[in-house]
């Protein structure tokens, strides 16, 4: 339940603890983005209430609401990218590399449904968060595209670079659809999520 407007503010951070306040603002915004039904309605005043400070205190760290949201989005993209890359370390083959990446992506999306919807749910207006902010996810997409290309080459595919890009987009579309539908329609009697992920991978790697 939302805190009352009249609820006393928390004690202010001591002088010199600006970094602590900044971290608290980021944490509060991340929590709001992942939990509220309409994140586009979030305000700086709401973030300030979460932390227990005056709204004016935010401007010493972020010039506006969009800057704070954009920072959180970039952190989440980096977190997901690092997890996907780490999962593929030590993979014994190109197919194993791709399999690890896809499973890590789906797992993160399933375990962090609010964060996943924040990144890929298209819930933020472009006048607040420009599309360029989502460019932080390009490295993630590129890693999937290149991993799929290597896996297909390992399986004897011979395709042009442009076709590799299209194939990577289609694979990502499949993974995204799986995560989104699995998270949003829990009443369905879904098969095992790992098994479904493997099937999506096979559809894109095995030669017809």
Q: Are 32 and 65 in contact (CB under 8 A)?
A: no
- From CA 42, how far away is CA 56, in angstroms rounded? 16
DSSP of 128-186, one letter per residue?
TS-GGGGGGGHHHHHHHHHHHHHHHHHTT----HHHHHHHHHHHHHHHHHHHHHHHH-T
pLDDT tens-place string over residues 108-151: 999 999 999 989 887 777 777 877 777 778 889 999 999 999 99
Residue partners of 21: CB distance under 8 A and separation at least 6: 13, 51, 53, 57, 61
Stretch 18-41: mean pLDDT, rounded?
91
Each residue of 59-83: pLDDT tens digit? 999 999 999 999 999 999 999 999 9
Tokens of 108: 């993160």
Q: What is the pLDDT of residue 72?
A: 94
Tell me the domains of the chain and their CATH numbers. Answer: 18-63 (1.10.10), 73-205 (1.10.357.10)
Distance CA 122, CA 140 (A): 17
Is 26 a residue whose pLDDT tops 80?
Answer: yes
Q: How far apart are CA 168 and CA 147, in angstroms?
A: 9
pLDDT at residue 17, as a whole number: 65
């Amino acid at each position: 339940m939302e805190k009352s407007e009249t609820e006393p503010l928390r004690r202010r951070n001591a002088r010199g603890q600006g970094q602590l306040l900044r971290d608290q603002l980021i944490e509060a915004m991340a929590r709001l983005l992942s939990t509220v039904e309409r994140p586009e309605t979030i305000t700086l005043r709401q973030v300030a209430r979460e932390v227990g400070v005056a709204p004016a205190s935010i401007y010493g760290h972020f010039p506006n609401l969009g800057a704070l949201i954009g920072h959180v989005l970039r952190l989440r993209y980096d977190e997901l990218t690092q997890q996907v890359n780490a999962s593929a370390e030590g993979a014994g083959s190109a197919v194993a590399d791709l399999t690890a990446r896809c499973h890590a992506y789906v797992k993160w999306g399933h375990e962090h449904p609010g964060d996943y919807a924040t990144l890929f749910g298209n819930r933020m207006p472009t006048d607040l968060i420009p599309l360029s902010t989502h460019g932080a996810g390009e490295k993630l997409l590129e890693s999937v595209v290149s991993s799929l290309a290597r896996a297909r080459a390992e399986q004897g595919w011979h395709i042009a670079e442009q076709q590799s890009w299209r194939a990577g987009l289609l694979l990502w579309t499949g993974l995204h659809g799986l995560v989104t539908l699995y998270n949003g329609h829990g009443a369905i009697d879904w098969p095992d999520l790992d098994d479904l992920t493997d099937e999506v991978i096979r559809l894109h790697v095995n030669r017809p």
